[in-house]
Structure 1
Amino acid sequence: MKFILISTAVALASVSAHAQQKPNFYVEAGYTFVNYEENIDGDIYKSSPKAIRLIGGAELSKNVALEAMVGFNGGNDSVTANGVNYPTVKFKMDSMYGVFVKPKVELAPNFELFGRLGYTHATATVSEPDYGSFEASDSDFSYGVGITYRIDPKLSISADYMSYLNKTDYSAKGFTIGLGLQF
């Protein structure tokens, strides 16, 4: 939490340093391939559900943006335990939301490398027809890296890899392909 406060303070300082520059706003929609892994008493459980991720952002300067993210279920997946697939056990990402500081740098004309540092809260459900369902949620520091290609001044495509939750016994990470629109 302390790191998020420091990152936010740096981003706000960047705003005041560029007060004469009007922020550029953008939205991105992406499809996320989530990799969930959990260790329960030495047994490894894995699942790869999908999520739809939406991001709204404001470019505070050429090299810093602030973002807000929401996500919801884009498709469930079966669960594998120690390499054995259980097709009737389903795992899905119900929702997620987060806030990020996005440092970025232009690598070449129309190509941008970026990072994301922030916070994510996620809710997921595991279900099995004979046993019902169980919902759980958690929050964690999140980070990632990605690249954006500007097709034209208003339209872009991007790809990124994020660590949304990284706890002692489980993790949720994901690769997203997205489409962005600048205002």
Structure 2
Amino acid sequence: MKKALFLLTTGLLAAASNVNAAETLSPSIYAGASAVYVDYSEGDIDMDLGAILGRVGTQLTDYVALEARLGTGVSDDSLYGVELELNYMYGLYAKAGFENNGFYPYVVLGYTKGELEASYGGYHENASDSDLSYGAGIDYAFTDRVSGNIEYMSYLDKDGYELNGFSAGFTYKF
């Protein structure tokens, strides 16, 4: 699945980079924020965390954007007395998509680094990891400058655990 999505995303990015100059925008800068429902799963363990995520990006063409994101946890979860929280996550991503009547469906491919903290009875353990990340979403333009979006991302998938997220937010174009 991961390989198929990677190949699909790579193909879309390659196709989008070959657009004619007449179809390209002058690069525009945008910023936004999202509320993220984060799912941590490892074997039979499934914990739900909350995060906020900020993003800054540039729309290079009608089809391709580059984005930097930074997020932090805002709600924790506990299981069997062990509390889990997301300390931070950040990453760099490429987005490929197309506009259609105000909607902009897209795929995302990039890199995420994050840190989780587990605590139990006064003992704290931090663990950070990074991985190739991928996902898909859709933006909807409310105005020329303001859009809303929803997105699903697989942030980390390694060493027997997964960190996935579903987000909803907004973006403002400068």
**TM score, norm. by length of structure 2:** 0.85
How far apart are residue 38 of structure 1 and its match? 1.3
Structure 1 stretches of 5 or more lacking a match? 80-85
What do you get for the CA RMSD once the two structures are aligned?
2.5
Residue of structure 1 in register with 2:96 after alignment: 103
2:26 counterpart SS class: coil
Residue of structure 2 in register with 1:127 after alignment: 119
Question: Does 1:33 pair with 2:37?
Answer: yes
How far apart are residue 114 of structure 1 and its match? 0.8
Q: Is the contact between residue 83 and residue 118 of structure 2 (CA under 8 Å) also seen in structure 1? A: yes
How far apart are residue 22 of structure 1 and its match? 2.1
Q: Is the contact between residue 120 and residue 141 of structure 1 (CA under 8 Å) also seen in structure 2? A: yes
Which of 137, 150, 173 pairs up with 2:164? 173
Q: Is the contact between residue 14 and residue 60 of structure 1 (CA under 8 Å) also seen in structure 2? A: no
Q: Is the contact between residue 115 and residue 129 of structure 2 (CA under 8 Å) also seen in structure 1? A: yes
Q: Is the contact between residue 133 and residue 156 of structure 2 (CA under 8 Å) also seen in structure 1? A: yes
Change (3 A) 1:105 1:127: same
**TM score, norm. by length of structure 1:** 0.81
| Partner amino acid, structure 2, of 1:31 | A
| Partner amino acid, structure 1, of 2:140 | Y
Q: Is the contact between residue 15 and residue 60 of structure 1 (CA under 8 Å) also seen in structure 2? A: no
Question: Does 1:138 pair with 2:129?
Answer: yes
Q: Alignment identity in percent?
A: 36
| Partner amino acid, structure 2, of 1:97 | Y
Residue of structure 2 in register with 1:47 after alignment: 47
The C-alpha deviation readout for 1:126-172, integer Å capped at 9, x for no partner, is: 112x2511100000000000011111111111000000001140000
Q: Is the contact between residue 25 and residue 62 of structure 2 (CA under 8 Å) also seen in structure 1? A: no
Correspondences of 1:69-108 after superposition (within 5 Å): 69-79=69-79, 86=80, 88-107=81-100
Provide runs of 4+ in structure 1 moved above 3 Å. 13-18
1:49 counterpart SS class: strand
Q: Is the contact between residue 33 and residue 51 of structure 1 (CA under 8 Å) also seen in structure 2? A: yes
